[in-house]
Amino acid sequence: MTTDAGVPWLIVGLGNPGPEYAMNRHNVGFMVADLLAERIGGKFKRAGKAQAQVIEGRIGPPGPANRRVILAKPMSYMNLSGGPVNALREFYKVPVANIVAVHDELDIDYGVLRLKLGGGDNGHNGLKSMTKAMGADYHRVRFGIGRPPGRMPVADFVLKDFSSAERKELGYFVDRAADAVESLVIEGLERAQSTYNS
């Protein structure tokens, strides 16, 4: 991670494009990216050849803590996320350690956040594709969705919408995840972990 305010950060919300996937558990990364876009005050636009939608902006208070960010949603489907992300990384000259992937996580209870740098993909196809494209040394904001009930296959569970009970708190949890991303970029991983790895 670089603290040089001139070096941009690439914040990637992982999900699947298309209205039929919009409220799926697997698309919580897109939900967080959409909220961050609102906060920046921009609209996503197609990013040239990168097969992604992006917004360029800044987050943080004026002064040395202010950060240039590129907010991205790959439009390639989850299991092919690595190609668009790597293309954006090369185009914007972002170090791998200045990339943040926001994604759903089965092994964490619903709504719980875990922030970390590097590590395995834990069977997550979006992370698997990103790691294959550029190595594993990027940041992750892991948004807990819990395990499937009974014998429901994982693939069915992640591609289902959040339940009505979950949706009651979803806005709060997405808001908190967006706060965690901002904290990570502005204050660094350790500070963000101490606040959000609850």
Q: How many angstroms separate the first and last alpha carbons of the chain?
A: 23
Residue 36: DSSP 8-state: H
Sheet containing 99-105, strands listed edge to edge, beginning at the edge strand earlier in sequence: 45-46, 52-59, 67-74, 9-13, 99-105, 139-144, 113-117
**Which token pair is 38?**
């609102």
What is the reported pLDDT for 5?
Answer: 60
Cβ contact 187:115 at 8 Å: no
Q: What is the pLDDT along the chain (198 residues), one digit of tens a residue?
A: 455 667 899 999 999 999 999 999 999 999 999 999 999 998 999 877 779 999 999 998 888 888 999 999 999 999 999 999 999 999 999 999 999 999 999 999 999 999 999 999 989 999 999 999 999 999 999 999 999 999 999 999 999 999 999 999 999 999 999 999 999 999 999 999 999 996
Q: What is the pTM of this model?
A: 0.95
CA angle, residues 142, 26, 15, in degrees to nearest 5: 90
Looking at residue 154, its pLDDT comes to 93
139 a catalytic residue: no
The pairing of strands 9-13 and 45-46 is unpaired
pLDDT recorded at residue 50: 75
Residue 99 CA to residue 130 CA, distance in Å, equals 11
Beta-bridged to residue 67, according to DSSP, are 59
* pLDDT at 186 (0 to 100): 95
The one catalytic residue among 26, 103, 124, 139: 26
